[in-house]
A and B are shown apart, each in its own frame.
Chain A
Amino acid sequence: MAVDITLLFKASVKTVKTRNKAIGIGLDSPKDEIFKRSRPKIGFSPKAKEVITNITKLKDFLLQHRKDYVSAGSLISSDLTRMTDNERDQIDQDAQIFMRTCSEAIRQLRNEAVKQVSSAQVKEHRGAVLDLIEVYLRGVCKLYSEQRAIRVKRMVDKKRLSRLAPEHHSRVGKTPEPMEEKTVKEESSEKSVSEVPNNTLNLWEEGRVEDELSPEEIQMFEQENQRLVSEMNSLVDEVRQIEGKVVEISRLQEIFAEKVLHQETEIDSIHQLVVGTTENVKEGNEDIREAIKNNAGFRVWILFFLVMCSFSLLFLDWYDS
């Protein structure tokens, strides 16, 4: 296992110091240190650190209120820990605004880092630092969206559960079942929906003369009521389901969007390559044409030279003889 020899190092520092003193080498006064310490507070890394502290604050805030946020809340829980829907929406909004500002800050830092002229290593380092911060922010955003998904899912489940109860209700009548506070509103609306036809029926019945009060007609009206009620229920049901599915789809959509963006950059690069390729091919064609021309021209010159040589030979021969 690794051995910590920092103390040994400090001891050697002391030894060297005493040795230097003994030999008489002057020590630099430590005043430069103070200067160095008070480096300008502006600069890349303090700003980056600031962004990180902000994101950490957001994370702590989310984690702190997570339990209250997610809890469905039962009837017997105390009022202190329960959150109203408004509070939850408030938290959602605040968190979103915060995340947007953080990503803005990261983008700004990135632009700054690119603009500032510094060595390649420092640029790479800063790019990597910003990537790390982005990954951190993404992790915290995931926390938030998980919370939100859990909350929506619970609501949907709750609605679905409470959906079953009013079916029995309208048949049996007013039975005091323990209902959750959230669904009291819908329930009462449903009860009123089922009650109103009953009431109107009763009124109608009371106002009408005996000839209309045949049991078949009552039953028919009751059936119609029930059909209407069930239709409305199923519609509301479907709407709730769709809502849940839409949340899931939005998550998938996010994944796809990321992939499509990634592909966009790749397609851009492919486009560049293709443009470069067509240019190269064009140049290649030009070169080939030139080469053919040169070849032809070369051949002409060779022929000419040979003909000249033979003529000169003939001439010399004629001259000699």
Chain B
Amino acid sequence: MAASVREKQTVALKRMLNFNAPPLKNSAAEPVWKVLIYDRFGQDIISPLLTVKELRDMGITLHLLLHSDRDPIPDVPAIFFVMPTEENIDRICQDLRNQLYESYYMNFISAISRSKLEDIASAALAANAVTQVTKVYDQYLNFITLEDDMFTLCHQNKELISYHAINRADIQDTDMEAIMDTIVDSLFCFFVTLGAVPIIRCPRGNAAEMVAVKLDKKLRENLRDARNSLFTGDNMAAGQFSFQRPLFVLADRNVDMATPLHHTWTYQALIHDVLDYQLNRVVMEEGAGGDPSPAGARPKKKNRKTYDLTGADRFWQKHKGSPFPEVAESVQEELDTYRTQEDEVKHLKSIMGLEGEDEGAISMLSDNTAKLTSAVSSLPELLEKKRLIDLHTNVATAVLDHIKSRKLDVYFEYEEKLMSKSTLDKSLLDIISDPDAGTPEDKMRLFLIYYITAQQAPSESDLEQYKTALLDAGCDLSPLNYIKQWKAFTKMAATPANYGNSGVKPMGLFSRVMNSGSQLVMEGVKNLVLKQHNLPVTRILDNLMEMKSNPETDDYRYFDPKMLRGSESSIPRNKNPFQEAIVFVVGGGNYIEYQNLVDYAKFKQGKKVVYGCSELSNAGQFIKQLSQLGQK
């Protein structure tokens, strides 16, 4: 994996947009214009990777949704990027009949079946447009890459493959098959884009195992099919500089139920938890004023601002995993550097004015013009920096408001202590009955984590006490039913997950506040420092990558699609530790696990870890799913 997944996908997209020819390096080439048409899946895939400006630079004049009303634009080639579903095919046939564009380049996100291809062919024949359909491609890009080393499967219809859908009691076999097929299809596209055949390991007895079996079968079939195997040819040779195959670890959400509910303290995870953050885009309401407007007046209009947090934003890349107080300080630092640079540029103005009349200025003029040129050319950079600083200040302020109003730092500290089984200084009941510490959802989350991580179940009377306290606070108790079931089930299967030792050390409050005269007033918020600890998923990965023997992972199944005969054994053939790994969680993932894996990869030099999940859900969405499951 010399290039990251994101780069590979971007390269594939750019090639597709260039009429499926590799893009030329010549910057002053003739412009060729085209129209891009996508459906919602295509939109989700393209939007984290390419901005509108980049699309314009590649010659895309219009980008439209497939199912919108489109007017005919003659003599323009059109590039379609859609999923091969029934309705999309029908709409394409309709377009062909209406002769909307001059030529058509069809790109299907995942492989199209022969019968649907024939549908398009018959529509094209009927409309006499066969020559207009210039190229048809299977792109195999059915996954969404959010970061350099993180991907998720789908965003549009994620209820179909969510945790709720997989684990509900009334699920049918056919439904399960359909869900598994979707997941396996996307994973297959992922490996095709990556250009590598992995070694698969998965636990026994749950959804992850089913996915692994199907994926293994699909990869095997494709490798055997010598005529059009996707893993041979120059695709492989170009992208592969490592001779080792990556390790693909499939995990099920059931192995660790506490992490999705956990309150977080790192920047990206906080944004995902507290604000509306989807596909690298934050949507916030601006001007949410503190004091209510006087009676009778017109309500103040709140405008919604959208911010894109992209890979080009250096501050974001550096700090998305840092704890929140660090982020606040860094924003302040950036603001200071920006102000000094701005002052320099303004200073230049006074220099220019003074030295205009001096006779000897002509020789000095050369320096000044050079200075002026450099200042003018650095102006766009400065403006961009200012925009980013504004963005992060707004986002961080919004997050801070949430933290203060819901006392999220208290929750975080308490949960960390729960998960590391260290002594608790405050009783759980106190926190739950505290009226101004967090929303009912927060309290429910805290209680669920307590229930999950407790070594033995709390006694009945205690439980009743907690339940009444929770009901007083206004929580809904249905997730609890489901967690009780889950706990009973997992107790039978294996030992409960150990969350490792973690320490949470609150820093001296006053020293920090004195040091940073920052705008983001952090007083009243505890300054917590995270210590390195490993979540269950990271530990599983560690064991498998380093070939350590551990009762948890010893009976994981082993699949190697390249072997001639599929074996049922779970003895790995390969004894060396792996250098690259891909972790995939079936049933929902979150940024906390992702951050933990990134830290682990940094800690172990030279290992690359990619995190994937079937869908990204923050704690609120996960709780909703649990309550739906508990209501059955």
A residues neighboring B (CB under 8 Å):
1-6, 8-9, 12-13, 15-17, 20, 27-28, 30, 32-33, 39, 43, 45, 52, 56, 59, 118-122, 124-125, 128-129, 131-133, 135-136, 139-140, 143, 238, 241-242, 245, 248-249, 251-252, 255-256
Contacts and interface: CB of A to CB of B under 8 A. Distances in A.
Nearest to B28: A139
Contact of B27 (A33, A125, A129, A139): A139
B230 interface: yes
B608 to A, nearest CB: 21
Nearest to B102: A45
Contacts of A5: 112, 117, 136-138
A166 to B, nearest CB: 20
Nearest to A121: B71
27 contacts: A1-B192, A2-B140, A4-B135, A5-B117, A5-B136, A8-B117, A9-B120, A9-B133, A12-B121, A15-B118, A20-B125, A33-B128, A39-B74, A45-B76, A59-B28, A121-B62, A122-B73, A125-B33, A125-B35, A125-B62, A129-B31, A132-B61, A136-B31, A245-B366, A248-B373, A251-B373, A255-B376
A17 B138 contact: no
A131 B15 CA distance: 22
A49 to B, nearest CB: 9
Interface in B36-70: 56, 59, 61-62, 64, 70
A109 to B, nearest CB: 13
Contacts of B235: 1
A252 B114 CA distance: 60
B275 to A, nearest CB: 30
Contacts of B140: 1-3
Contact of A129 (B33, B107, B133): B33
B71 to A, nearest CB: 4
B124 A6 contact: no
Given A6-B135, A8-B117, A12-B117, A241 B193 contact: no
B170 interface: no
Contacts of A133: 31
A52 B30 CA distance: 7
A124 B134 CA distance: 25
B136 A43 contact: no
Given A13-B130, A124-B61, A1 B12 contact: yes
A120 B192 CA distance: 40
Interface in B132-154: 133-140
B193 to A, nearest CB: 7
Interface in B357-383: 362-363, 365-366, 369, 372-373, 376
B230 A1 contact: yes
Nearest to B138: A3
Nearest to B29: A136
B25 to A, nearest CB: 14
B291 interface: no
B195 A1 contact: yes
B20 interface: yes
A252 B377 CA distance: 10
B16 interface: yes
B64 A121 contact: yes
Contacts of B134: 6
A33 B33 CA distance: 24
Contact of A2 (B30, B59, B122, B137): B137
A39 B74 CA distance: 10
Nearest to A129: B33
A139 to B, nearest CB: 5
B294 to A, nearest CB: 15
Given A5-B138, A8-B117, A128-B62, A136 B372 contact: no
A251 B195 CA distance: 48
A67 B528 CA distance: 64
Given A16-B125, A245-B366, A252 B28 contact: no
A32 B128 contact: yes
Contacts of B107: 2
A52 B33 CA distance: 12
Contact of B369 (A30, A125, A248): A248
**When A and B form their complex, which 9 residue pairs have the shortest distance between CB atoms, in order from nearest?**
A128-B61, A119-B71, A132-B31, A12-B121, A1-B235, A9-B136, A13-B121, A3-B138, A139-B28
A252 B376 contact: yes
Nearest to A248: B369
A9 B117 contact: yes
Given A9-B121, A16-B125, A140 B28 contact: yes
Nearest to A136: B31
Given A43-B75, A119-B71, A129-B31, 12 more contacts: A2-B107, A3-B138, A3-B230, A5-B117, A8-B136, A9-B117, A13-B121, A15-B118, A39-B75, A132-B59, A245-B365, A256-B376
Contacts of A120: 71
Given A2-B139, A133-B31, A125 B121 contact: no
B576 interface: no
A52 B31 contact: yes
B423 interface: no
A17 B139 CA distance: 27
A9 B12 CA distance: 21
A194 to B, nearest CB: 25
B366 A136 contact: no
Nearest to A238: B362
Interface in B336-352: none
B360 to A, nearest CB: 11
Most chain B CB within 10 A, of A2, A13, A143, is at A2
A35 B407 CA distance: 73
A120 to B, nearest CB: 8
Contacts of B30: 52, 56, 136
A122 B71 contact: yes
Given A43-B75, A121-B71, A2 B128 contact: no
B456 interface: no
B242 interface: no
B61 A252 contact: no
Most chain A CB within 10 A, of B15, B76, B111, is at B76
B495 interface: no
Contacts of A59: 28
A241 B121 contact: no
B17 to A, nearest CB: 12
B569 to A, nearest CB: 33
Contacts of B130: 13
Nearest to B35: A125
A136 B28 CA distance: 7
Nearest to B362: A238
Interface in B52-111: 56, 59, 61-62, 64, 70-71, 73-76, 107, 111
Nearest to B375: A252
Contacts of A248: 369, 373
B44 to A, nearest CB: 19
B564 to A, nearest CB: 25
A252 B373 contact: yes
A30 B127 CA distance: 10
A13 B112 CA distance: 15
A69 to B, nearest CB: 17
A13 B126 CA distance: 11
Contacts of B511: none
B228 to A, nearest CB: 7
B16 A2 contact: yes
